[in-house]
Amino acid sequence: MRVLATQRLPGPAWDALRDVEIAPIDGRRDDVEALVAPGERIDDAVLDLFPSLRLVANYGVGYDQVDVAACRARGVEVTNTPGVLDAATADLAFALLLATRRRLVEGDDLVRSGNWGTSWAQAPFLGREVTGSTLGIVGLGRIGSAMARRARGFEMRVLYHQRTRVDEPGLEYRALDELMSDADVVSVHAPLTPETKGLISRERLALLRDGATLVNTARGALVDEDALVDELMSGRISAGLDVFVHEPAVPHALFGLANVVLTPHIGSGTVETRSAMTQVVVDNLLAAERGEPLLTPVN
């Protein structure tokens, strides 16, 4: 089965593919049956270029950039990489939580700039207590649940919001507006769909307590980014952000702000997790080649 990949994926699993070409998507290809194109929008315009396509193997659990309905209409299957990146993504979300609440980046800057001990540094340089504070999780799926487990180790009170309620000790359901106003830290873990786009709206951001923190390792468009920038510029809240609406572009206003920690969409970015994701992609490609059921089809 001829696979077109826009890049080689990391890890040894990749070597199991026999008929793979590394090239950009730049014109019609009648021979390509499977596509691996991290970060690329896959819509009708792209599908038109690949009349023999059978599979889009998405390198990631979120597949909002793939028009699944358009694929389905053409008989093209779509797979993703659920499960293998939950721990890494929750680790990063918790790292952003800690870094933002304890002002890690500001502290690092202070030490490196040689200003530790100057009059500015003697002014109060205080973060916010993490242990015992309240975390609000928006989207209690695999990654949100992994976040909740980490929070328990920090003796946090854990609130959650999602469509279906779970009956688990230590997890308190809240309507989203209540969660926004009751939490010290809100961490977003929902998939991006037409229903969840802009879920964390300007009105909901305004519900956050003074001094609260928003953590987003899911998708930028879940949050009204303009409203978030306004809140951050006011200094009322802080944020740890791994994802943005127009990646790799980041709102310039954020660069000058001390109350935001920024990372470049690295939730799944560990050697181990990216290798495991490659294994899932490759296993799906090999299953498709053999005519066997796909491991992780979406829907």
Question: For ligand 8YV, which residue has the nearest CB?
Answer: 60
* Residue 62 binds to ligand 8YV (criterion: CB under 6 A): yes
Q: Give catalytic status of residue 219 as yes or no.
A: yes
* Residue 38 binds to ligand 8YV (criterion: CB under 6 A): yes
C-alpha to C-alpha distance for 58 and 69, rounded to whole angstroms: 15
Minimum CB separation of residue 218 from ligand 8YV in Å reads: 8
Q: Give catalytic status of residue 202 as yes or no.
A: no
Residues 229 to 268: which contact ligand 8YV by CB under 6 A?
A: 265, 267-268
Between 59 and 94, CB nearer to ligand 8YV: 59
* Residue 214 binds to ligand 8YV (criterion: CB under 6 A): no
C-alpha to C-alpha distance for 224 and 218, rounded to whole angstroms: 13
Bridge pairing between strands 20-22 and 55-57? unpaired
Among 59, 94, 160, 244, binds ligand 8YV (CB under 6 A): 59
What x/- string results for residues 265 through 294 when contact with ligand 8YV is judged by CB under 6 A?
x-xx--------------------------
Query: Per the structure block, which two tokens stand in for 246?
Result: 């127009």
The answer to whether residues 11 and 274 touch, using CB atoms and an 8 Å cutoff, is yes
Between 127 and 141, CB nearer to ligand 8YV: 141
Rounded alpha-carbon distances, angstroms, from residue 62 to 23, 35, 86, 164, 290: 23, 16, 12, 20, 26
Neighbours of 3 (CB within 10 A): 22
Nearest to 261 by CA among 96, 27, 130, 94: 96
Interacting residues toward ligand 8YV by CB under 6 A: 38-39, 59-62, 85, 265, 267-268
**Catalytic sites, residue numbers:** 219, 247, 265
